[in-house]
Amino acid sequence: MIKTNKLCLAVALLTLCGITASAKLMEASVATVNGRPVLASEYDAYLESVISQYKAAAPEVLQQPYATDMLGHEVLKELISKELLYQAAEEAKVVVKDSEIDAGINEIKSRFIIDEKTGKEDPKGADKRFNEALKKQGLTLKRYQEKIKKDVAVRKLMEEKLRETIKPVEEADARELYDRVEAVMKNNTKKLKALEKEDPAKLKEAQLIAAKLKQLTAERVLIGHIYLAVTKDMKPEDVKKKEELANKIKKELDGGLDFSAAVKKYTEDSAALTTGGDMILIKGIAPKAVDEKAFSLAVGKVSAPIKSDVGYHIIKIKEKRAEKTVTFEDIANDLGQYLAQQRVQLAMAEYIESLYNKADVKVTKTFESDKLLEEQAAKAAQDEAAKK
């Protein structure tokens, strides 16, 4: 049997323990689940936290049409699912000990050991920062303890349900997945065509895993990088000045200037300053001119200025790593973990769906995009009627 992490169940469970939503009682709700309200205040706070995360990690997502509505739908769906699980745990009479609640509170408090203002550890101030966070979210300690109790009850319920329904991952399961991934990596046309005909979803899954593996095992090089930016709207004389500066930097390097010192002095890539200009290039990813030079120069060598569509680059080759070959033994446990998590997620989705089908769920929240879709559907119906 493939060894899988005992925490894999917890990894796939809904994140229920964070301080993410206000618990202030308000009459306004966005939905009801078997008569219990899903509070608008909770929805708004949760959605705000999700949007903040996207602003930091993937701001381009928020530029899509009706992005807030799409995220809102997902937030509402999750809150309804959480309420369904809370109620199922109550019905199952899941027992939560005071010690389990205390452990949950202490785990959350441990996240406040770091003082965000100083960036340093301050264990003594953790309680104060924790209580400030509760106050900011409109929560009392008692109210938060009730929330933790619900979260623990749901976790225990799901662990029991999943233990009953999920089949352990065997070595044969992981090897079957590996064979599909290997077929993609080796571009075995015969196997891929057969798989596409048999199960397109499995083919797509294998392609995604293969792409990740190729990235992790591809030939790569560690370089030092000096970058001078050139934009499309730059005047020709300004572009010429950049070229002259790049040549000047190369002469200084040939004359003995330390490469790291040159990075600090000249590079226009502010993010690179935190690493001293060091970066890893995976073969075939960088601009073609940079890629070709990086993988042809010997370790220790410094390139002449390289022109790309975005500017001038001077690179120093620091380390090289050849492409790696991945065997089944290398990734057997990783594939086992992946399959285990897939089974957990599927079982959870099926269980929540079964709860949903038996529940009385009423959604009162409306979205702008829903109204637009209704108008488009009505217009399409009118056009079809007119044709008839």
pLDDT in tens, 267-312: 998 777 667 788 899 988 888 999 999 999 999 999 999 999 999 9
Instruction: List Cα–Cα distances, 124 to 13, 115, 164, in angstroms.
Output: 31, 10, 43
Q: Report the range of poorest mean pLDDT among 128-137, 151-160, 167-176, 202-211.
A: 128-137
CA distance 31 to 77: 10
Beta pairing class for 306-308 and 120-121: unpaired
Beta pairing class for 29-33 and 36-39: antiparallel
* The predicted structure's pLDDT at residue 8: 42
pLDDT beyond 60 at 18: no
pLDDT band at residue 224 under the 50/70/90 scheme: very high
* The predicted structure's pLDDT at residue 27: 56
User: What would the mean pLDDT of 178-192 be, rounded to a whole number?
Assistant: 93
* φ/ψ of residue 96, rounded to 5: -120, 120
Domain 220-321 has CATH 3.10.50.40: yes
Return the bridge partners of 220, or none: 282, 321
Tokens of 165: 């329904």
User: What would the mean pLDDT of 211-229 be, rounded to a whole number?
Assistant: 92
Instruction: List Cα–Cα distances, 37 to 173, 193, 287, in angstroms.
Output: 43, 50, 54
48: amino acid identity, one letter: E
Torsion sign across C-alpha atoms 191, 193, 196, 198: negative
Quick count: other Cβ atoms within 10 Å of Cβ 80? Answer: 21
SS3 labels along the chain: CCCCCCCHHHHHCCCCCCCCCCCCCCCCEEEEECCEEEEHHHHHHHHHHHHHHHHHHCHHHHHCCCHHHHHHHHHHHHHHHHHHHHHHHHHCCCCCCHHHHHHHHHHHHHHHCEECCCCEECHHHHHHHHHHHHHHCCCCHHHHHHHHHHHHHHHHHHHHHHHHHCCCCCHHHHHHHHHHHHHHHCCCHHHHHHHHHHCHHHHHHHHHHHHHHHHHHCCEEEEEEEEEECCCCCCHHHHHHHHHHHHHHHHHHHCCCCHHHHHHHHCCCHHHHHHCCEEEEECCCCCHHHHHHHCCCCCCCECCCEEECCEEEEEEEEEEECCCCCCHHHHHHHHHHHHHHHHHHHHHHHHHHHHHHHCCEEECCCCHHHHHHHHHHHHHHHHHHHHC
pLDDT band at residue 15 under the 50/70/90 scheme: very low
Q: Report the range of poorest mean pLDDT among 29-43, 242-256, 272-286.
A: 272-286
pLDDT beyond 90 at 5: no
CA distance 169 to 336: 6
Which residue, among 291, 293, 307, 292, has the nearest Cα to 243 in the 3D structure?
307
Q: Report the range of poorest mean pLDDT among 56-60, 221-225, 299-303.
A: 56-60
66: amino acid identity, one letter: Y
Of all residues in the chain, the percent with pLDDT exceeding 70 is 92
pLDDT band at residue 351 under the 50/70/90 scheme: very high
Which residue, among 141, 312, 103, 114, has the nearest Cα to 228 in the 3D structure?
312
pLDDT beyond 60 at 183: yes
Q: Note the CATH number of domain 8-166+335-382.
A: 1.10.4030.10
* The predicted structure's pLDDT at residue 17: 40
Tokens of 228: 């001078």
User: What would the mean pLDDT of 58-74 be, rounded to a whole number?
Assistant: 90
User: What would the mean pLDDT of 312-333 be, rounded to a whole number?
Assistant: 93
Of all residues in the chain, the percent with pLDDT exceeding 90 is 61
pLDDT band at residue 45 under the 50/70/90 scheme: confident
Beta pairing class for 36-39 and 114-115: unpaired
CA distance 84 to 75: 14
